[in-house]
Structure 1
């Protein structure tokens, strides 16, 4: 078996909920020894209420699990001992909590100057909102996304996933990888920080730039692209499909493919600016032209004509699609209680060292004794710590 690319790394995972596990998942899937640290009572993570849930199984794979009472000095002492030989520590406490517990970056860097200490917070480590609790929905609202999503006459709209959580986790993983690469040159670790709010804002991309450079406040456009027209959702005889045009050539190919030559010659639609100004009339005309054929017919016909188009799947339909299967995004993991379970894999493909899905999520404290003995505790010391409620 090929050695996994991150098998030389030890990662201490103090994170909970979604953003932190999203970050850590990259390291575990590519071979790092991830040690998940939980409270001795198992509380503190709403995702941990049901360790057999689909969400928990997907988020917490490829980890070993230990329990520590970090409110007691003996528990903090164990964590510090773990840090001595760790490469990465990931946490998503509120900023004040790690200082109160005495496990902040300055403390841990003094123990291990090579440590990459990664913090994920709701709003950042400093500033007027730094001590506030925050979750994905709050970041979606404050980060501008809900004011861009949905239809203008129906109020703001939440996106159907957790983009702030997920992007904060991905950016945290990227920042951690950058810090590890830099450590290879300098020999020193550093403090990596990201937060839900700035991650959500980063996802706004060109919409944010419309304000920053052009001082335009984008509005809700429903299924339409804010600037590129026609791009959106259109009606077929048996449902809806998406199509996207970029530039005049693409637009004129669309007109020919849907047998609507009048749209190609209409003076209002000759330029991108004209199509954007007259998007309502244009979309109505395209809907009328596309109502005569099925979704599949239009998807096949438009793609053959060089106009990007696709079906709109429910999740069962999406996972049944042959191209989705070809990507390998669905993988299987063996769970001791549930048996073989399908999970989301990685969208990253590696030609020599692909990810592996080796471990189901650990039971509470499943590997505590093993991990502590690896860092020098005797069996008797482990037993004493257990009887004292430290582990």
Structure 2
């Protein structure tokens, strides 16, 4: 067991909860990660041929090591009767089940909500699908096409050039909203004693993100303008809210979000003449002279290193941010501070990765176990907990029903394709 920091942890809110995760790629594993970081015993179920070229969604890549910390992993061939029996035993003791398989897959495997809830009526069954109930509910969907279909990519890119976000925001968001549904179901279960089926939708998550633009378009009756193109008096944007180049080849983002910030930025960047201009006292006036102002600020910033600009504007209480890469942000003082990252074993590399983005004064997040480096790393351990004998586990491994690093090996074939 690995722990971050030296401070003793209080009890995590989900300690004692059992979760079974039939998760792949990003969305399902994210839901499992949230519950695992909050203390649940999450057992990830993978196919016995996980990690092979036929299972690209189960490769041990960087994303896998991020989204699967604090979990145990078993490898089971769900296409066999013995594999389904092992899964049903695991589900029988579970508080929560997570799955993001292709529509209909869990039912075909005999692991759908209608079936498993008969034996475990307290189970909260969490599905994450491409679409919620409606004409498209049987369609598969991924993060990027979800951004395209919802209008999110339209609002992100340049006019005529829709662009996906630089992270799997739809997958992660859908998982997070689904977990909110799980928490509500657990609260309800305290009163009713009954679980329920909660489903999160990728498309509906992206649509929720775009809701602010949908609302504004209906209010004004005007066609939405991509956020990258919102310049000028009718753009509805802040006059100075842009990137600027520094002499060290790096960039900073400066946002003037109040009239007081405008006066302060003029003072520290040597633009006192602009601070006294009556036509620039408010954002509306500054929008009319936006290009001129951007040129003046660019000139003032170009002779300074990026960190100097950031420090200068932070002291002046002006909105500013450096432009980082996923590697350079690790060296940012805030990210490097205690608690802002957790230790991670990323394959053969020892690194640091973000925890859940909230904190509590009652407990602290830690890495209790790193992501399972091998498929089925905990197969024997979990099956023994479920009542199997060591001899029975070994026999299942010899038949290709289960897999683990300490078990007999048999070539596997004929598995059900559960990828979306």
User: TM-score per shorter chain, which class?
Assistant: 0.7 to 0.9
Query: What is the 5 A alignment of 1:1-391?
Result: 2-42=10-50, 45-49=55-59, 51=60, 53-124=61-132, 126-152=133-159, 155-204=161-210, 206-222=212-228, 227-238=237-248, 239-264=250-275, 266=277, 269-276=280-287, 278-326=289-337, 328-333=339-344, 338=348, 340-362=350-372, 363-391=374-402
> Per-residue CA shift, 1:20-76, capped at 9, x if unaligned?
111111121222111111112226752423x2x322221222111112222233322
Cα deviation, residue 268, structure 1: 5.3
Could you list the runs of 5+ residues in structure 2 that have no partner in the other structure?
1-7, 403-420
Taking the aligned partners of 2:217 and 2:177, their CA distance within structure 1 comes to: 23
Cα deviation, residue 223, structure 1: 8.4
Taking the aligned partners of 2:192 and 2:223, their CA distance within structure 1 comes to: 43
| Distance change in 2, residues 1:208/1:265 (3 Å) | farther
Cα deviation, residue 270, structure 1: 4.1
Could you list the runs of 5+ residues in structure 1 that have no partner in the other structure?
none
CA contact (8 A) 2:27 2:175 kept: yes
| Distance change in 2, residues 1:69/1:317 (3 Å) | closer
Structure ranking higher on relative contact order (CA contacts 8 Å, 6+ apart): 2
Cα deviation, residue 220, structure 1: 2.6
Relative to the length of structure 2, the TM-score reads 0.82
**CA root-mean-square deviation:** 2.7
Taking the aligned partners of 1:166 and 1:275, their CA distance within structure 2 comes to: 38
Between 209-218 and 241-250, report the one with greater CA deviation: 209-218
